[in-house]
Amino acid sequence: MIRVAINGYGNLGRGVELALSHAQDMECVVVFTRRDPSALTTLGAPAAHVNEMPDYVGKVDVVLNCGGSATDLGTQGPEVAKLFNTVDSFDNHKKIPEHFDAVGAAAREAGTLALISAGWDPGLFSILRVLGEAVLPTGSTTTFWGPGVSQGHSDAIRRIEGVADAKQYTVPVEETVQAVKDGRDVELTPRTMHKRECYVVAEEGADLARIERDIVQMPNYFADYDTTVSFISAEELARDHAGIPHGGQVIRAGKTDDDVDAAITYQLQLGSNPEFTGSVLVAAGRAVARMAERGQTGAVTLFDVTLTDLSPASASDLRKNYL
């Protein structure tokens, strides 16, 4: 059994915990938290304060860092890599090279292995972008996101005066998706690619017309998109919009000869974004534990991992049953 520690018990940490319960060859041995460990109700694993981490050296094969990219992972990554093999879901695209270097330096010095930026984007979508271009070098790659909940956009709506609560869905524009798959020439702008659907609970007596205007005209977040705003009750929001679904698709459309098209589509439809992201972190954790066992150290990404290491099946079973 691969012994796993979860570091951070928010949505993603709980998603990882669920995913571990589906992995026959892995077990959750501890959940690290910055809160009072006795306040955590886990699915079964003991909780421990992050300050106790050093006590677990030798008892954990890989730590899955489940903090956020904005504040946690930048410092958490190098710190934890000094003690354990790690996986994180660092998704601040511009800072990925810097994060890779920082985590890699700590891991090399400590003799551990750290995999960064696992999840579905970055993560599975990244894999598919590279795979698509490797097999179809002449063409273009397009990523559509959704239908799914954007936490950042939902938060932006919640900050508007008069808004009690809100949920925002990013939805790909189907005609544009189809045009891209067909290899047709199509203008790709924020507005042609995605639309935004907002479900808003207003405070009593709030000016709904002003709220709607504040949303659809908000620069960066909404102004460049076709945005619809629906006002609903708190009960409706709780009943119909409680989930955190997400998904999207990576399309590689290219040519194998001047007049011969080829299209590759990879699509995810996820009932729960954090649960699925957690599932990818768990598979990555399996690979990291195995690669570290073979002596590999430093920083890697999913680009450096083989399917054989990601899968619980043996190499000969994979050849026999999956080829």
Between CA 174 and CA 192 the distance in angstroms is 10
Question: Could you say which of 117, 142, 176, 297 contacts its own copies (CB under 8 A)?
Answer: 117
Asked if 31 is part of the footprint of its own copies (rule: CB under 8 A), the reply reads no
> Looking at beta carbons only, is 215 or 268 nearer to its own copies?
268
> Is residue 269 part of the contact set for its own copies (CB under 8 A)?
yes
Q: Which stretch binds its own copies (CB under 8 A): 27-35, 71-79, 118-126, 189-197?
A: 118-126
What would the x/- binding string for its own copies be over residues 83 to 112, using CB under 8 A?
Answer: ----------x--xx--x------------
Contacts of 254 (CB under 8 A, 6+ apart): 136, 137, 138, 139, 140, 183, 261, 262, 263
Q: 171, 195 in Cβ contact below 8 A?
A: yes
Q: Which of 1, 188, 223, 315 binds its own copies (CB under 8 A)?
A: 315
CB nearer to its own copies: pick between 80 and 300? 300
4 contributes a contact to its own copies by CB under 8 A? no
Binding residue (CB under 8 A) for its own copies from 3, 108, 181, 191: 181
Taking CB under 8 A as the criterion, the residue among 22, 58, 71, 220 binding its own copies is 22
Written as six digits, the tokens of 146 are: 């959704």
Alpha helical stretches, state H, 23-150: 73-81, 96-110, 124-135
- The answer to whether 151 touches 277, Cβ cutoff 8 Å, is no
Binding residue (CB under 8 A) for its own copies from 45, 83, 110, 310? 310
User: Which among 20-28, 29-37, 47-55, 210-218 is the span making contact with its own copies, rule CB under 8 A?
Assistant: 20-28
Nearest by Cα to 309 from 125, 91, 85: 85
Site membership for its own copies, residue 23 (CB under 8 A): yes
Q: How far is the CB of 226 from its own copies (least distance, A)?
A: 26
Q: How large is the C-alpha radius of gyration of the chain?
A: 22
User: If binding means CB under 8 A, how many residues of this protein chain bind its own copies?
Assistant: 68
User: Counting contacts by CB under 8 A, is residue 286 touching its own copies?
Assistant: yes
Residue 23 vs residues 32, 41, 146: alpha-carbon distances, Å: 20, 21, 27
- Report which DSSP code applies to 159: T
The kind and range of the H/E element at 190 are helix 190-193
User: How many C-beta atoms lie closer than 10 Å to residue 59's C-beta?
Assistant: 11
91 vs 214, beta carbon nearer its own copies? 91
Query: Buried b vs exposed e over 118-132: b needs ≥16 C-beta within 10 Å?
Result: bbbbbbbbbbbbeeb
DSSP assignment of 216-237 equals HT-TTTTTTSEEEEEE--HHHH
Cβ 19 to its own copies shortest distance, Å: 7
Between the alpha carbon of residue 157 and those of residues 66, 198, 261, the distances in Å are 26, 8, 42
The verdict on 62 binding its own copies (CB under 8 A) reads no
Binding residues for its own copies restricted to 184-243, rule: CB under 8 A: 243
Binding site for its own copies (CB under 8 A): 15, 18-19, 22-24, 93, 96-97, 100, 117, 122, 124, 126-127, 129-131, 133-138, 181, 243, 256-257, 260-272, 275-276, 278-280, 282-283, 286, 301-308, 310-313, 315-316, 318-320, 322-323
